[in-house]
A and B are shown apart, each in its own frame.
Chain A
Amino acid sequence: MFRRRLTAMVCSVAALGLLATGCGGTDNGGSAAEKKTGEVTFWSFVKGSDKVAEAFNRTHPDIKVNFETVPSGQEYYSKLSNAVKAGTVPDVAVVEYPQLPEFATQGKLESLDGTLGPLVDKRFPQSTRKLVQLGGKTWGVPRDAAPLMLYYRNDFFKTHKIDVPKTWAEYRNMTERVKKADPKARGGVLYTDNPGLLSALTWQAGSQWFSTKKDAWKVSLDDAPSRKVADFWGDLARKDLVSSLSSLDPFWTSVQQNRTVAYVCASWCAGAQQATVADQKGKWAVAPVPTWDGKPASAMYGGSSFVVPKGAKNSGAAAEFIKWITTDPVGMKAWVSSGTSSMFPADPELVPVTKSAFPTDYFGGQDVYAVGSKSYDAVVPGWTWGPVMGTTNTAIIDQLPKVAEGNVKLSDVLTGAQKATVKDIQHRGMTLAP
């Protein structure tokens, strides 16, 4: 309160001296949003960001984008958050879908209603729009979707005559057969450090961890579909039918050493798999993610959007840049120009652009993007991320390793995260639906 008054005071003093720069102004867009020239600072950690900035600068002489590479993960979000506090924000920044509502509810993003809102309405499917449009406003523009797929070792499955599972019951069966065929190999993984895949699997099962009812948040991390998924994976982990590993080096090492022969991941894993385990070329294949009832259903694990942080100085040019890198075919092509990214565009019309840039020989000529497209179409609509995902995710991550150790049930982990989330939402003064 005091600080606000202080700012107001400083501003009025400045106004007296006819130096009214930077006071008031930024909220309502105004002239800054209309201006489409000048310099744009761009923060991103996703692959190809440097290429896309270069390509934009080549084709847009009026705007100069200065790309700054940033670390990924929690450190980045702290950095961005602190930049808003310190008034040193970039004009464009990447924010992954799960983190977007938290930034928006903390007043750290400019609303894009007046600039890119109509574009988002027009170009993206409803399930994706719901990730960036919250509280009736548009906060970010989707770049990529990350529909789920099943990755498996074709050679291993063929040798041991294992069928590719279509339902989760068959999946369980598959993990048992994999372990029997090779006691060191596993047909899946429960990450010990990353709740993203788990939440995607509950999403696919029809859970809605977060939803809004009028002016209130509804939190249901431990609803029935969510518990079903947690019990299923918790049991697989406890019985050692899937391995429990960190999603970073230990996971990829296990793939390299033939200890992981199947796993569920998003579309982007195709590129990661190809780059990290190059010598298993031709051995892998993809299939639709298994479902509970055999009918197509999917969800997203990852994916990113681009935002204009609060206090950005050149939001007009920023909007131009964001528009180009998310919905322009030339911009989309620049993202994947290195040929190593299997990024799946959130705008379905741009799929042919990325598809043509991704070599298929690693997956034995299989059309990875066709599987991705089907999965994207089947994403269960209605999912929204919550306003305190830092708290929600940490509450899950802190307990995940204990599931494999057998000390904690995975569904109880979700119940604990539910409590921590509700408490934090209340503390921040937001309304909770009964």
Chain B
Amino acid sequence: MASLSARAQRRTAAMLLAPFFVLFSAVTVAPLLYAGWMSLFTTRTSGLGFGGTEEVFAGLDNYVRALSDPAFRDGFITIAAYVAIYIPVMIGGALALALLLDSALVKARAFFQLALFLPHAVPGLIAALIWVYLYTPGLSPVIGFLSAGGLDISFLSADNAVFSAANIAVWEWIGYNMVIFYAALQAVPGETLDAAKIDGAGGIRTALSIKVPMIRPAIALSVLFTVIGSVQLFTEPKVIYSASSSIGSSWTPNMYVQAAAFTHNDFGLAAAASLLIALFAAVLSFLVTRFSRSRSQA
């Protein structure tokens, strides 16, 4: 009897899990395998090239070419610079806003929550288009205003693009992460806060010594998602590139992949480079998880 119900239970579990695995294999595993397959081939022709093309087995040549291409490697340096600016500003800002909302100081809490979250409801592409409009000289009222005040800033130049891209992303994501932190703060037990108050801790001390340590898992999770998202940085710089090409067509690794596939018609290289990015993101998320776990256990 017991074994029968266990079997029935297993069958139900399988039935409930099946949709996930079907979709997972169709839209994640299968494309990964296909990309892996594609990354082993390259398209060749001969002479002037008008006699047709053929797919030739290339072994690991596409991987070697990606890794030895400075344009691909520089993409990761771009990401590092972007992360160094973006994560402290965005996570720090979201945390500060969440703590402010959680404190007794704020009136109209629901309004601010909604207002800060609203930019996240704008799709990334639209957000990037709006910001690029504000960044384009001759069109932007902001630049006109600044240069009337004697300040000439080129938001789209290669040197400033990291800030410009990070700025768009902060605007998009700060409210979202603030909501996560705020929700985590609601779970901080009232008696702990009361105890802190009785011990004489002020608002700021309570925030930094009680609240922040207690929501550390939420912060770690946000950092993890943000880092992985940053490795895939594409939309914002792509739109910036369309307004000014000074950042180059391979500014981030994902832009490199897109250019390889659709500008250079080199699908093998594009597949190899995407798999390298996926590998990099996997290693990075492993490290971030390890790091934050050991920190929270300490």
A3 to B43, CA, bound (A): 12
A109 to B157, CA, bound (A): 39
Contact A193–B245 (Cβ < 8 Å): yes
Q: CB of B5 within 8 A of chain A?
A: no
- Mask for A386-415, Cβ within 8 A of B = 1, else 0? 011011001001101110010000000000
Contact A105–B249 (Cβ < 8 Å): no
Known: A107-B53, A250-B139, A401-B244. A430 touches B249 (CB 8 A): no
A254 to B137, CA, bound (A): 11
Supply 15 further A-B pairs (C-beta < 8 A) apart from A78-B262, A212-B48, A427-B266: A1-B41, A105-B45, A106-B43, A106-B265, A107-B53, A135-B48, A135-B50, A250-B138, A250-B139, A387-B48, A394-B263, A428-B44, A429-B46, A430-B47, A430-B49
Q: Which of B25-33, B54-62, B209-217 contacts A (4 or more CB under 8 A)?
A: B54-62
Name the A residues within 8 Å of B250 (CB-CB).
398
- Mask for A1-38, Cβ within 8 A of B = 1, else 0? 11110000000000000000000000000000000000
Name the A residues within 8 Å of B208 (CB-CB).
none
Name the B residues within 8 Å of A135 (CB-CB).
48-51
Residue of A nearest to B242 (CB): A193
Q: CB of B114 within 8 A of chain A?
A: no
Name the B residues within 8 Å of A102 (CB-CB).
265
Q: CB of B136 within 8 A of chain A?
A: yes
Sort A-B residue pairs by CB-CB distance and give the 6 closest, nearest first.
Answer: A105-B49, A135-B50, A401-B246, A429-B44, A78-B262, A398-B248
Contact A394–B249 (Cβ < 8 Å): yes
14 pairs from A and B in contact (CB 8 Å cutoff): A1-B56, A3-B55, A107-B52, A215-B48, A249-B139, A250-B139, A390-B264, A391-B263, A394-B264, A401-B244, A405-B157, A429-B49, A430-B48, A431-B46
Q: CB of B22 within 8 A of chain A?
A: no
User: Size range of the interface on B?
Assistant: 35 or more
Q: CB of A104 within 8 A of chain B?
A: yes
A3 to B53, CA, bound (A): 13
Q: CB of B67 within 8 A of chain A?
A: no
- Mask for B231-269, Cβ within 8 A of A = 1, else 0? 000000000000111101110000000010111111000
Name the A residues within 8 Å of B243 (CB-CB).
246
Q: How many residues in A have their beta carbons less than 8 Å from beta carbons of B?
A: 45
Main DSSP-derived SS at the B contact region: loop
A405 to B161, CA, bound (A): 15
Contact B45–A107 (Cβ < 8 Å): yes
Question: In chain B between 115 and 143, which residues have their CB closer than 8 angstroms to a CB of chain A?
Answer: 136-139
A residues neighboring B (CB under 8 Å): 1-4, 74, 78, 81, 102, 104-107, 134-137, 192-193, 212, 215-217, 245-246, 249-250, 253-254, 387-388, 390-391, 394, 397-398, 400-402, 405, 424, 427-431
Q: CB of B77 within 8 A of chain A?
A: no
A1 to B40, CA, bound (A): 11
Q: CB of B283 within 8 A of chain A?
A: no
Q: CB of B287 within 8 A of chain A?
A: no
Within the complex, what minimum Cβ distance (angstroms) separates B69 from chain A?
Answer: 10
Name the B residues within 8 Å of A217 (CB-CB).
48-49
Contact B48–A134 (Cβ < 8 Å): yes
Name the B residues within 8 Å of A431 (CB-CB).
46-48
A402 to B52, CA, bound (A): 38
Name the A residues within 8 Å of B246 (CB-CB).
192, 401-402, 405
Q: CB of B8 within 8 A of chain A?
A: no
Name the A residues within 8 Å of B42 (CB-CB).
427
How many A-B pairs have beta carbons closer than 8 Å: the answer is 111
Contact B50–A1 (Cβ < 8 Å): no
Residue of A nearest to B259 (CB): A394
Within the complex, what minimum Cβ distance (angstroms) separates B172 from chain A?
Answer: 24
- Residue of A1, A135, A215, A429 with highest tally of chain B CB at under 10 A: A429
Name the A residues within 8 Å of B48 (CB-CB).
105, 134-135, 212, 215-217, 387, 430-431
Contact A424–B264 (Cβ < 8 Å): yes
Which of B43, B49, B249, B261 touches A397 (beta carbons < 8 Å)? B249
Name the B residues within 8 Å of A192 (CB-CB).
244-246
Contact A430–B244 (Cβ < 8 Å): no
Known: A394-B263, A398-B249. A253 touches B47 (CB 8 A): no
Known: A106-B43, A134-B50. A1 touches B55 (CB 8 A): yes
A254 to B138, CA, bound (A): 8
Contact A81–B245 (Cβ < 8 Å): no
Contact A1–B57 (Cβ < 8 Å): yes
A134 to B243, CA, bound (A): 34
A397 to B263, CA, bound (A): 12
Residue of B nearest to A27 (CB): B52
A102 to B266, CA, bound (A): 12
Name the B residues within 8 Å of A253 (CB-CB).
138-139
Contact B245–A401 (Cβ < 8 Å): yes
- Mask for B5-32, Cβ within 8 A of A = 1, else 0? 0000000000000000000000000000
Within the complex, what minimum Cβ distance (angstroms) separates A422 from chain B?
Answer: 14
A74 to B6, CA, bound (A): 58
Contact A402–B55 (Cβ < 8 Å): no
Name the A residues within 8 Å of B244 (CB-CB).
192-193, 246, 401
Contact A250–B137 (Cβ < 8 Å): yes
Q: CB of B158 within 8 A of chain A?
A: yes
A4 to B41, CA, bound (A): 12
Name the A residues within 8 Å of B47 (CB-CB).
215-216, 430-431
Residue of A nearest to B50 (CB): A135
A431 to B265, CA, bound (A): 18
Contact B45–A74 (Cβ < 8 Å): no
